[in-house]
Structure 1
Amino acid sequence: MEASKKRNLLYNIRLFAMLLVLIALYAFSVNRNKSRQIAKTLVFFEPTKDQFISKTTVNKLLIENIREAGSHTKENLDLNQLEHTLNANPMIKKSEVSLGIDGVLRAKVEQRAPVARWVNDGMIFYIDDAGTKMPLSELTSARVPLVTGAITKENTKDICEVLKYINDDSFLKKDIIGVKIAPNGSLLMLSRSYDFKIDFGEPKHIHRKFCNYKAFYFKAEADKSLEKYKLVNLRFTKQVVCTK
């Protein structure tokens, strides 16, 4: 009986010792992993037609932020701060930064997509579908309408809905090259192929007005009469009124 108790005691002692060793090894592994240097950074872009910011620029933003924060090790790395830094760039809409167990820092980036080039106070910007300003890019030039006039807090949503509609429609994207915003908020547009002006009126009933315009355009093109017009009035949702 005594021998059996001793064996059980020794077994429990060995089991406890093994458990302590495993805990120590785990703690050592965790601490060692935290103290490891970041191996490298990888940048991935969400699929998009044009690229307005380079991987090199994004990578530089990451490295500079890591250096300034003194967070060269995995333990000191603040992923939220890195995302905040990337999202502060006017070319970036959203980013996700993660760190793998291999020490590789990965950044997934969604770029802003311009819907217009806006001339304001002698300066030129891109604007996206939310009305957010973007600087012109050295990498590419977006094929978007040139907008003049005031984009204000009050009209941003309506104006951007019109611009997004143009950008999403393959025909309108090729045809509409300019949008002038009048002081009263009405829109005057320019066609790429013809000299007539398009009086869109207020940025309302967008789908109906553009459907009317496309129906008029294709019919007049078939009749070879587009060159005769000076003004195409879309203010009336049930008809297109043209001036020669």
Structure 2
Amino acid sequence: MRKNWVLNIQLLAIFGVVVFLYAFASGRNQKREITKPEVEIVDNNNPFLTPEMVNNLLKEKMRGSFSVAKEDLDLRIIEEAINNHKLVDSSEVYVSVDGRLKAIVTQKTPIARVFDHNDTYYIDYKGGKMPLSGNYSARVPLVYGSITNSYSKEIVGLLRLIHDDEFLKKNIIGLQIKTDGSVVMKNRNYSYDINFGRTIHMERKFNNYKAFFQKAVQDTVLDAYKTINLKFIKQVVCTK
């Protein structure tokens, strides 16, 4: 019985020491000052943003200094500030065990560049408006014409199809939006117009175009055409 009593006291003592050490370490951790942050830009092959730009934004939210106690940090507010940047799609901000502030930033993905009178900007993958960057210019199709139609769900879907397909992404360099919502496209290496028509049966039309293109390249007749008409989903009509 006495042995059990002594054992219980020892266990309580050990538990008390553990709790004390945890509380002590936790307190020191909260008082620890944050060191200069590390910024990781996802997909840095398209450097619209730079770590320096994000660092400046972080420094602004931290009142000009990175010497801030961990307990005084509001990571949610810092994350929201980064997410509000017009080139940022999302971000994750956290503090590592060694007290380093880390930010993982995902940039927006442009799928087209719009020319609208005196204004120019990107349309991102989610269909939003994305400003140009002084650091990098994306190689995406140019969109012009009746721009009021360019934000429709169908047009954004069309631009996504082009962006996600390696052949189309490489070859389609321009889209003119007509007032009736139909689309005329330009190919990178040939002067003909691609009369795509309205944004219906889009995948079927693109499949028709790719099949036609592969055959016409082999026959070396593409330079002879002025118009490639994809309006009819069962055939491709060419005009010389």
TM-score, length-scaled by structure 1 = 0.86
State whether structure 2 residue 169 is matched by structure 1 residue 173.
Answer: yes
Q: Which moved more, 1:70-79 or 1:17-26?
A: 17-26
Distance 2:66 2:194 in 1: 57
CA distance in 1, matches of 2:71, 2:112: 43
SS at match of 1:67: coil
CA 1:150–1:13 in 2, change beyond 3 Å: closer, same or farther?
Answer: same
What is the deviation of 1:113?
1.1
Give 1:37's aligned residue: 33
**Pairs aligned (count):** 240
Query: Please, which of 101, 104, 108 is the counterpart of residue 108 of structure 1?
Result: 104
Deviation, 1:140, is 2.0
Shift of 1:209: 0.5
> What SS class does the counterpart of residue 231 from structure 2 fall into?
coil
Distance verdict in 2 for CA 1:14–1:227, change over 3 Å: closer
Q: Which residue of 2 aligns with 1:199?
A: 195
- Measured in 2, the distance between the counterparts of 1:57 and 1:82 equals 14
Of residues 150-159 and 167-176 in structure 1, the stretch that sits farther from structure 2 once superposed is 150-159
Q: Conserved in 1, the CA contact under 8 Å of 2:127 and 2:151? A: no
- Unmatched 5+ stretches in structure 2: none
What is the aligned partner in structure 1 of residue 184 from structure 2? 188
Aligned-partner residue type, residue 131 of structure 2: P
Q: Residue deviations 1:151-190, cap 9 Å, x none? A: 5589532111111111222221121111011111111111
1:77 positional shift = 0.7
The reply on whether 1:128 has 2:124 as its aligned counterpart is yes
Match of 2:84 in 1: 88
Listed one character per residue, the Cα deviations across residues 136-159 of structure 1 (whole Å, up to 9, x for unaligned) are 122222111000134558953211
Q: Which moved more, 1:25-34 or 1:188-197?
A: 25-34
Pair 189,154 (structure 1): closer, same or farther in 2 beyond 3 Å: closer
Name the stretch that deviates more: 139-148 or 24-33: 24-33
Contact 1:71 1:77 in 2 (8 A): no
d(CA) in 1 for partners of 2:21, 2:209: 73
Q: How does 1:14-29 map to 2 (within 5 A)?
A: 26-29=22-25
Cα deviation for residue 33 of structure 1 reads: 2.0
**Which of the two has higher C-alpha Rg?**
1
Whole-angstrom CA distance in 1 between matches of 2:230 and 2:117? 29
Deviates more, 1:38-47 or 1:84-93: 38-47
Q: CA deviation at 1:199?
A: 0.8
**Is structure 2 residue 152 aligned with structure 1 residue 164?**
no
Bigger mean CA deviation after superposition, 142-151 or 228-237:
142-151
2:182–2:199 Cα contact (<8 Å) kept: yes
Deviation by residue 1:196-233 (Cα, 9 ceiling, x = unmatched): 11111111211111111111222222222112211111
- 1:44-59 aligned at under 5 Å gives the runs 44-47=40-43, 49-59=45-55
Q: Structure 1 CA distance, aligned partners of 2:5 and 2:216?
A: 99
The aligned counterpart of 2:232 is 236
Partner residue of 1:73 out of 41, 60, 69: 69
